[in-house]
Each structure stands twice: as C-alpha cells, then as structure tokens.
Amino acid sequence: MSRVTFVPAEDRLTDQIAFAVEIDKLKRIIRRNLLMDGSRRENDAEHSWYVATLAMVLGEHAPAGTDLQRVVAMLLVHDLVEIDAGDTFIYDPVAVAAQVEAERAAADRIFALLPGEQGARLRSLWEEFEERETPEARFARALDRFAPILANHHTEGGTWRLFKVTAAQVMEKVRLIEEGAPSLGAYARALVEESVAKGHLSE
C-alpha cells in the first residue's frame, strides 16, 4: 500500500508562514507587570504562555464541564491584537476607553493573514474571550486577571505601587476572577488583603 503524503497548497503555506512571522512580534510588546523576581517587565508572549499553562495546572478550579483545551487556545491568541494595539494598562481609564476599537482593527488585520477557515477559527476564539459569555471565556479571563495579581503580590506591590493603584481598583478585577473561578477569586482576594496589610497596596 502506497503512503499518501499531504502537501499543503503553496498559497496556504505562504499565508500560514506569514502569520507565524507576524505573531513573533508579540515578544516585543512589553507589559507593565514585572516578572516575579522583579528583574524586568514581562512581554506579551511570556504572559500568554504563562496563563495558558495556568489553565492546565489550575483547570480543576474551572466550572464543571469546561473545555480546557479551548481555554488554552483562547489564552494563546487573546493578546495577539496587541501587536498593533499595544498593551492596555487596565487601570488607565483613557487607554481602556480606546482599547475596543483599536483591538478590533488589529484583529481584522492579523487574523486575516491566515487562510480563511483558520483565521475565522482563531478570530472566533478571540471574540469569545472578549465577550465572556461562555464558561471557557470566563475562566480564561479569570486567569488573565489572576496572573498580574499574583505577580504584584510577589513583587511587594510592583506595578500597583509604581502607578499608585488602590485596593478598590484591584478588587474590581478580583470580581472578574470570581465570575470565572470562585476559588481563585477567593485566593486573589486574600492576596489583596495581605498586600494591603503589608503596606504593598494602598487602601
């Protein structure tokens, strides 16, 4: 029996490689958060890898029946739009107000680099994450918000102290965590309270 080898169409492979080259730029997008050792700020690619890994490690804290593979995929693509739109500091109301339009325009361009059905599938994952209407999206968003709280706690206030973020502002993000993973939300709430008690986060 002869072996059948699938060879992708030249145009399809060209588009896939173009996307692969483009998303390498995510490594250049620097976030506000510090690494937990405080040595430098993390980049978007590191953040995406980290929260996707957390989805596998902390998956038991997701609602029953959550499709964790979908959560991982969502987290790997959720920040690709920041290649064009940049990292939005979630405690900057002016930047947040402009975020939706900028990120949607970025999604239009970046996901369109892929062959039609692949681009549509990844765009759909990004849209799902943004809309937060499924258990998978809410759990993914919970992890996305949990990671910076964990990092700021371990850097003795890190970004919170630098940008004069208050406990009330952080607690707004904790509520998003609680929506997607109540046990992680409770843990995050305890971290915030401990940070306030230690003077690493302003009341």
Asked if residue 89 belongs to a domain, the reply is yes
Asked if residue 172 belongs to a domain, the reply is yes
**Nearest alpha-carbon partner for 49 in 186, 180, 158, 144:** 144
Asked if residue 88 belongs to a domain, the reply is yes
Please tell me the predicted confidence (pLDDT) of residue 203: 87
Asked if residue 1 belongs to a domain, the reply is no
* DSSP string for residues in 105-137: HHHHHHGGGS-HHHHHHHHHHHHHHHHT-SHHH
- CA atoms of 107 and 123, how far apart (whole Å): 7
Please tell me the predicted confidence (pLDDT) of residue 112: 98
Tell me the residue range of the domain where 144 lies.
10-197
Report the CATH number at residue 114.
1.10.3210.10
Asked if residue 164 belongs to a domain, the reply is yes
Task: Pick out the chain residues at pLDDT < 50.
Answer: 1-2, 4-5, 7
Max intra-chain CA distance, the chain: 72
Please tell me the predicted confidence (pLDDT) of residue 6: 52
- Residue 83's contacts (CB-CB under 8 Å, 6 or more residues apart) are 22, 23, 25, 26, 29, 106, 110
Please tell me the predicted confidence (pLDDT) of residue 93: 87
Asked if residue 165 belongs to a domain, the reply is yes
Instruction: Return the residue matching tokens 């706690």.
Output: 153
Asked if residue 16 belongs to a domain, the reply is yes
Q: Burial of 97 by CB count in 10 Å (0-12 exposed, 13-18 middle, 19+ buried)?
A: exposed
Overall number of domains in the chain: 1
Asked if residue 2 belongs to a domain, the reply is no
Please tell me the predicted confidence (pLDDT) of residue 8: 59
